[in-house]
Structure 1
Amino acid sequence: MQVQVNTDANIEGNAALLAHVEAEISAALARFDEQITRIEVHLSDDNGQRPGNTDKRCMLEARPAGQQPVVVTHNAETIDQACSGATQKLKHLLESSFGRLADRGGHATIRDGHSH
């Protein structure tokens, strides 16, 4: 799984920040390594130099192999909080999506307790 980090003009995309974000997302989503080809990270500061409480935004676009891309966004006070929130949203979305795909493949479901 490749993780690509992009920043807008209001976020200083220094090497330490980019490496930190990439490592956090890679570790949190490691269990999906075989199913995800790439994750694009878009970091932005929606207010720029103007003050704002939750103006830092992290958008994650995951590209599951053989499926349409999925996108989540989280706004917070800091880039770290925005990334953590978006990562958790994406993790839950992927767990749900891949779980449904497995259910269609003949695996037992919670509802009926047996295979289809």
Structure 2
Amino acid sequence: MTIQFNTDNNVHGTEEFIALYIVQIESVLSRFSEHITRLEVHLSDENGPKNGMNTKRCLLEARLEHRQPIAVSNQADTLDQAMDGALVKLTATLDTIMGKLNNHK
């Protein structure tokens, strides 16, 4: 599984910052890793330097073998919360898809 990170101008994605998220993503999605060819992570701060509620956004787009891409997003007060919520949504979606695939076999 290849993981590609994209950030907007308001999110400073250092190597250490990205490495921490990669470890988290690989841990959470490890059971799906043989089915996911690429995962694109888009992190953004929709309010920029201003403070506000639910301004951090995480969009995850999973590319599965022989399937259409799946995209989920989550907004929260922090990037960590946004990532956690998006991973929960993606895991639930992948569970549903993989369950349906296994039922058809």
TM-score range, shorter chain: over 0.9
Q: Structure 1, unaligned stretches of length 5 or more?
A: 106-116
For residue 79 of structure 2, what is the amino acid of its counterpart? Answer: I
- 1:63-85 residue CA offsets vs partner (Å, 9 max, x unmatched): 01000000000001111110011
Coordinate RMSD, CA, aligned = 0.7
2:87 match: secondary structure: helix
For residue 101 of structure 2, what is the amino acid of its counterpart? Answer: L
1:9 match: secondary structure: coil
What is aligned with 1:111?
A: none
In structure 2, distance between residues paired with 1:59 and 1:19: 17
What is aligned with 1:22?
A: 22
> What is the CA distance between 1:40 and its match in structure 2?
0.4
In structure 2, distance between residues paired with 1:45 and 1:83: 12
In structure 2, distance between residues paired with 1:3 and 1:87: 13
* Structure 2 residue 62 is matched with structure 1 residue 62: yes
TM-score by length of 1: 0.88
2:48 match: secondary structure: coil
* Structure 2 residue 22 is matched with structure 1 residue 11: no
Q: Which has the larger radius of gyration?
A: 1
Q: Structure 2, unaligned stretches of length 5 or more?
A: none
The question of whether the paired residues in 2 share the 8 Å contact of 1:37 and 1:64 is answered with yes
In structure 2, distance between residues paired with 1:16 and 1:79: 15
Q: Percent identity?
A: 45
* Structure 2 residue 40 is matched with structure 1 residue 40: yes
Structure 1 runs of 4+ aligned residues shifted over 6 Å read none
The question of whether the paired residues in 2 share the 8 Å contact of 1:5 and 1:22 is answered with no
Aligned residues: 105
In structure 1, distance between residues paired with 2:36 and 2:82: 21
The question of whether the paired residues in 2 share the 8 Å contact of 1:76 and 1:82 is answered with yes
TM-score by length of 2: 0.97
